[in-house]
């Protein structure tokens, strides 16, 4: 497995970078857009800052799992990132980079695998059992496209 495997997806939105950042830095909204994330447990309706933690519940078919995430980057209106852990082990970093454009903004979502070394191999095996997915990069790339499309539809509809 490559070290720190990573995938990114981008989308153009016709809303401001600040609007996109506000939505992305309130992870509870992500559960409305993501095909896998079902619930986020955090302080409702507020943007998170570096060091804040939030819990997540995800599902894929009959597979269900929980995670704990910690905000690592919070630079409005351009960058928001958080690290995800499960069973006390680092799993991944999710990041969002937002660039203002003439018509709104461009959002790039990136997933970086943090399951490294011998323990990383064990965490991949546990991840397969927990989530039903071995090729996380391909699976996440598909899910990221769906998430970004749903976010675009939601934000653009509410800012017309």
Domain count, the chain: 1
Supply the pLDDT for residue 120: 62
Identify whether 46 is part of a domain: yes
Q: What mean pLDDT value characterizes the chain?
A: 87
What span, in angstroms and rounded, lies between the C-alpha atoms of 17 and 65? 32
> Torsions phi, psi of 137, nearest 5?
-60, -50
Supply the pLDDT for residue 2: 47
CATH number at residue 62: 3.30.530.20
Of the candidates 4, 53, 31, 54, the residue with the CA atom closest to the CA atom of residue 154: 31
| Residue 135 CB neighbours (<10 A) | 10
On whether the CB atoms of residues 154 and 33 are closer than 8 A, the answer is: yes
pTM: 0.88
pLDDT, one tens digit per residue, over 92-107 is 999 999 999 999 999 9
pLDDT band at 124 (very low <50, low <70, confident <90, very high): low
Identify whether 124 is part of a domain: yes
> Which residues form the domain of 112?
6-158
Identify whether 1 is part of a domain: no
Identify whether 63 is part of a domain: yes
Identify whether 100 is part of a domain: yes
Supply the pLDDT for residue 34: 94
């Amino acid at each position: 497995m490559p070290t720190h495997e990573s995938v990114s997806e981008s989308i153009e939105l016709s809303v401001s970078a600040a609007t996109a950042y506000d939505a992305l830095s309130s992870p509870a909204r992500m559960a409305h857009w993501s095909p896998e994330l079902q619930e986020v447990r955090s302080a409702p309706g507020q943007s998170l800052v570096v060091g804040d933690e939030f819990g997540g519940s995800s599902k894929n078919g009959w597979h269900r799992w929980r995670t704990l995430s910690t905000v690592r980057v919070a630079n409005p209106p351009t960058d928001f990132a958080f690290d995800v852990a499960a069973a006390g082990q680092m799993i991944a970093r999710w990041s969002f980079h937002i660039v203002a454009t003439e018509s709104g903004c461009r959002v790039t979502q990136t997933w970086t695998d943090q399951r490294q070394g011998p323990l990383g191999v064990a965490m991949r095996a546990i991840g397969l059992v927990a989530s039903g997915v071995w090729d996380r990069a391909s699976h996440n790339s598909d899910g990221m496209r769906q998430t970004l499309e749903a976010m675009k539809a939601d934000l653009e509809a509410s800012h017309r």
